Chain A
């Protein structure tokens, strides 16, 4: 059977005026109605390829064919009207408009036409099998819902190919499922998808074919059925890295329930697992370092109390909107409305970030660009920021030499890939930028580390480094709180897990006695009843 591919890229190369070569002779063939996976490490050229397809970049060499015809899209509008809709990682919606207005933002004509649009919108929802209030303001929606609005927007333009860039990166499990269902449903109706994701399990379960990019070239392409996670990881990384003593065993040790579990959903989990020391609980006589009592906040924290001992890594597992980040912010004093007691080493900490830092607390926030890094500063000024007085003469005049030394030390210790301490943080990749945020807290006497999604948007190699760093914090006698939407990751580093739901701690489990499935059940509000979780 010969079908014309919906989209094909032949020998596409893209180099930038600054000399970067992002793509070298890449090819890609997407068949109508198929779900095509695109994977690769950070910097492999995925984003560039997407931008070429979306018409945001013109390829330097090679051809793009749409339904067999050679096309040159000069701007994203041209691609969109041809039938390619691209959903970027950071969904650009107009927050002050309603869902309905956002969905039909790209439509032509001078009027808003609410009535007719409403009908179209209802049809669209039926097609997708999803419910959302058309009059809700986008600013009020959760990230997952915004993602769905973006998908609806893409469909409303009559797209035949939907390109999704990391659509599930910031979604909770339930919301992920909604996205998967929509993709399956629509592909059955004939819409093709190009699905770009770090999550290999998603790619494996969702896609028909998969293309692997490395250093701007396609290294593998084939039926997804012919791949498993190991083969993909090997293709993504260079063979040398994948072969470098990555242990295969030990991952499932003590995690009964996941043995028959479905496909794991984590990038390169085997890389993580290789370094995973089965997390034993900390001795009961270890002193309590962080103690939280009766913490409440209108932001969504309800009567939270817990202790973290020296050397302990406590994971906070919860779905999006469960209050997991809000708990960290309340503990840190960053939420001015939070009430309750926080003690570090037995001492009360006033409820401001300033007092928290003075008491030895450190927060690695979820959104590193908006909350963690000062974009106008180079690496060295960012790293010294929380501990500046200690690096200053008379605690008032910063010593740039001392700051530079600390930055160089952080760069060496953390393996930050950069030209040097003078590099601007905005020029770093996700993983390296995250390491800079860690570097801020590494040398300043912080003992209580609160990490909010420390590996979000970070590639496989950097992820393993960061998790190793978390373990090091704990081994150095610190207390660590980790929030992650990837329960797999929590289980890989934590000694103990607190499950949160609707702002409360609903369960507590030693990490070696629980499983991803159990945590998921608890986080969704089901008691893991009958499950022998108590060893």
Chain B
């Protein structure tokens, strides 16, 4: 196989990361010039991560649905519904039961989406546009059109414990180094050269740790995001399930004829998305201790924007949850930058919209160039003229 690391660092592949670095860099320079508090301060970074975590979690699961070749507009409504459910029930049933019911509600929404899209065969855009509206209607019914709050102090405490506050991982370098060492050792046992490199990097990091002594202090939702994104990424990257999901999204018929249960994967993606949205809903409820009937409205589009910034194809079979998370970070970095620079929210829409379109344009053009390059490489290697091909569809 090709040298993976270099390929992964190419702008065509990791462009979204470079974009984030560029934006952060620009904002840092600007805020320093304007004499504002340092943009790269620890507090600000921890803040941005906290603010983006909910949307980023939604973007992770939405990316899974997009990879499976479908589309889900209902995430924000489902999250609001779950938040309303949790807040209405937490006083009488306690947090665990209320949370279970809220998650169950999200799961049911996902099943409904998946079954209608896959088994009845209606376009996902239409179905989830419908459920988006209908579930928002349910929110109105549950809340009776008013803001729902958790009044019971005990319930409030349990909700706050779920979401608010920070966890500190001491000696982060040592911890990361240890994880790398373990992974590297496993890989090395399986006779992979990369294992040794990883293990070596782990040892170096662990050795540096006492000198630097960095501790990692992040908000709880940020940790939830890290765990969810890491697990989802690993499942997509390293398991049979992940491989099949990409195959199903890229060419469902070929996957089906290869013996893959396409419906199971596509419905599964919707169910996961419903569940993930419900979890985000509960976190949202815990954050505000209240939800009004229009809460989270419009968030589904922010989530999609994050996934698109991350280079996820709207046609399925292509995408990375980590890049979608970075996409969400870009959106919230811009958001935060406007606040820090005190530029006024009026310009924000124009800038964010432009960023999304520019990102999509860059992916499309980079994709085309990569194709030309690949054709050239394959000719050089095979020593024969390659078949001519038209540039593929945009955003593929």
Contacts and interface: CB of A to CB of B under 8 A. Distances in A.
Contacts of A363: 257
A376 B387 contact: no
Given A376-B246, A398-B240, A354 B376 contact: no
Given A18-B372, A427-B386, A429-B387, A357 B258 contact: yes
Contact of B253 (A19, A357, A370, A426): A370
B33 interface: no
A180 interface: no
A43 B385 contact: yes
A424 B392 CA distance: 13
Contacts of B244: 385, 388
A320 to B, nearest CB: 20
B376 A19 contact: yes
Contacts of B241: 396
A186 B340 CA distance: 75
B322 to A, nearest CB: 18
B239 interface: yes
Interface string B133-162: 000000000000000000000000000000
B243 A398 contact: yes
Nearest to A359: B259
Contacts of B317: 374-376
A205 B377 CA distance: 41
A507 to B, nearest CB: 29
A476 B345 CA distance: 71
Contacts of A78: none
B379 A19 contact: yes
B239 A397 contact: yes
Given A370-B253, A373-B251, A22 B259 contact: no
B365 to A, nearest CB: 15
Interface in B347-385: 372, 374-382, 384-385
B256 A386 contact: no
Interface string A223-246: 000000000000000000000000
Interface in B1-20: 1-2
A190 B378 CA distance: 45
A385 B255 contact: yes
Interface string A427-461: 11100000000001000000000000000000000
Interface stretch (A154-162, A193-201, A415-423): A415-423
A47 B388 contact: yes
A114 B164 CA distance: 69
Contacts, number: 127
Most buried by A among B257, B261, B388: B257
A356 B259 contact: yes
Contact of A371 (B254, B372, B385): B254
Nearest to A429: B387
A20 B386 contact: yes
B301 to A, nearest CB: 26
A96 B260 CA distance: 31
Interface string B223-251: 00000000000000011110110110011
A20 B386 CA distance: 7
Contact of B250 (A19, A375, A423): A375
B257 A372 contact: yes
Contacts of B374: 423-424, 427
B262 to A, nearest CB: 9
Interface string A376-417: 110011000110110010011110100010000000000001
Most buried by B among A17, A21, A354, A404: A354
Interface of B: 1-2, 238-241, 243-244, 246-247, 250-251, 253-261, 317-318, 372, 374-382, 384-389
Closest 10 CB pairs of A and B: A357-B259, A419-B381, A376-B250, A386-B258, A376-B317, A419-B378, A374-B251, A20-B385, A374-B250, A18-B376
5 contacts: A352-B261, A358-B259, A363-B257, A374-B254, A417-B384
Given A22-B385, A374-B317, 20 more contacts: A17-B372, A18-B375, A21-B385, A43-B385, A43-B387, A48-B388, A371-B253, A374-B254, A375-B251, A385-B254, A385-B260, A388-B244, A389-B240, A398-B239, A418-B378, A419-B380, A422-B1, A428-B387, A429-B387, A440-B258
Interface of A: 16-22, 42-43, 47-48, 216, 332, 334, 352-354, 356-358, 363, 365, 370-377, 380-381, 385-386, 388-389, 392, 395-398, 400, 404, 417-424, 426-429, 440
